[in-house]
Structure 1
Amino acid sequence: MATSGGNGPATGLAPVYTAARARLGLVAALWVVAAVGWVWTARQMRGMDAGPWTSLGSLGWFLGVWTVMMAAMMFPSVAPTVALYARMTKRRSPLRPWLFSAGYLLTWTVAGLIAYTVGVTATRILGDALAWHNAGRALAGTTLIVAAIYEVTPLKDVCLGKCRSPLGVLLGSWREGNAGAVRMGARNGAWCVGCCWALMASLFALGVMSVPWMALVAGIIAVEKTVPWHRKVVTYATSAVLLVLGILVLVAPDMLPALVIPSGDRMPMS
């Protein structure tokens, strides 16, 4: 397993690359699921991007869209880890890699439920105070800047190290059986949430129903977790991008071509 200052493939990524090459069919299947998720999500979100703090709709609708979004955004970057798990369980059950993936999605679904609860509660308590032309713009910019700061914290480094060195994580939390596969996937998802929660908060700040911003955040996550560069280089680059976005939202939001400026008087979170 990679140490905190590990250098990618020489320490943590080599096993997942090897496993991905050995399990190309599984990796391709996960990419197909992600592609279907992107198409479905784009159709569901058509005409719904109202900018930062876009309406989240009903709980059931939001969780359905959120879960498909997470499959679309996360499966490409987690596919090598699932392939590694599949290689380690190849004599046990071909179903377990999919149960592992289901556990991974379950953790992200819980994260979405928490985000929905926070958003709806904040709107009901603060109401118009969170409208874009009141505190909404400042909140969006501040969220992006906080995300930029989180990128260079020790906690982010630990979580990203787990995501980029999954062999040690899998071996250290091994559970047998189908239930064990779900639990291991959920545990892997928890490390991923720890790694990516600030990026997801940034997505809410930029417009959670915006496919372009969703694609940008998904791309950043994939680069952070799978590109064989020294992870300090990746995290500092990501931090710089988020910092620039946050400053632009605060001082010149019109300079962001994909940002929809809310025109309503209320922050439509529910």
Structure 2
Amino acid sequence: MDAIGGTPMPGGWTMSALWTPMCGRTWFDAAVSFAGMWNVMMVAMMLPAMAPALWRFFEAADDGGAARAGAMTVIVGAGYFLVWLAVGVLVFAVGAQLAALAVEAPALAHTAPALAGVVVAIAGVLQFSAWKARWLACCGSAPSCGDARVDLRSALHHGLRLGRHCVCCCGNLMAALLAAGVMDRPAMALVAAAIAGERWVPLRAGGRFARGIGVAAVALGVAMVVRAVAG
């Protein structure tokens, strides 16, 4: 990630080379490269948060034997990360368009740091919403938000459903990460810890934990806006 580099932009920020093809490469090459790094990032970030749901599935499917239950659990994980891969394709398409706009419109590029702060602050506000509470309750419920049966089709469907639920539940935090810098390792670590914490903290305390994350995100977003305006 450190070797990716970027282009200095008006407003004092750096546009990552992830969003544009490098010399001698096509847009398809850039998309494939982004998808590969996105997948690695998602596995590292989301596997700790996903572990309780995978374990619940394994326990529910264990009647068919540990080896078969383990194989079906892998299929669940594959379906889950397939959803995140689809999100990554959409993220790259949007990010590439925004990068092109930033290059063509220096005035827009100058406002990017402040806009990033607004996105982070909005992500924090959403931590207090009923929408967030509903999805967290679903993610934390036992055994899960679907029936675990030991066959390939239902395991894949279960993984896809878990992925969709996870995107809905932590989409605001992922948007904050994208605004702060998709490959910024400290930001990745903080968001990964926040997402995992929301799922590992007991349901009753999970709401308070989510709101605490919201307070921190709003404060960070406001600080980003103030720094951008002052700069």
2:72 is the alignment partner of 1:96: yes
Corresponding residue for residue 46 of structure 1: 2
Corresponding residue for residue 74 of structure 1: 46
**Partner SS, residue 85 of structure 1:** helix
Provide closer, same or farther for how the CA distance between residues 114 and 133 of structure 1 changes in structure 2, counting only shifts above 3 A.
closer
Larger relative contact order (Cα-Cα within 8 Å, sequence gap ≥ 6): 1
Structure 2: where are the runs of 5+ without partners? 7-12, 20-29
2:138 is the alignment partner of 1:162: yes
Provide closer, same or farther for how the CA distance between residues 75 and 134 of structure 1 changes in structure 2, counting only shifts above 3 A.
same
Cα drift, residue 49 of structure 1: 6.1
Could you tell me whether the CA contact under 8 Å between 1:53 and 1:205 is conserved in 2?
Answer: no
Q: Distance in 1 between matches of 2:73 and 2:210?
A: 29
Give the number of equivalent residue pairs.
Answer: 209
Q: Distance in 1 between matches of 2:107 and 2:39?
A: 27
Could you tell me whether the CA contact under 8 Å between 1:137 and 1:250 is conserved in 2?
Answer: yes
Cα drift, residue 233 of structure 1: 0.4
2:205 is the alignment partner of 1:243: no
Cα drift, residue 46 of structure 1: 2.2
Corresponding residue for residue 123 of structure 1: 99
Identity %: 31
Matches within 5 A, 1:122-141: 122-125=98-101, 127-129=103-105, 134-141=110-117
2:187 is the alignment partner of 1:231: no
2:74 is the alignment partner of 1:107: no
Structure 1: where are the runs of 5+ without partners? 1-44, 254-260, 262-270
Q: Distance in 1 between matches of 2:137 and 2:165?
A: 9
Could you tell me whether the CA contact under 8 Å between 1:123 and 1:130 is conserved in 2?
Answer: no
**Partner SS, residue 56 of structure 1:** helix
Matches within 5 A, 1:138-217: 138-171=114-147, 174=148, 177-217=151-191
TM-score by length of 2: 0.82
Q: Distance in 1 between matches of 2:207 and 2:162?
A: 21
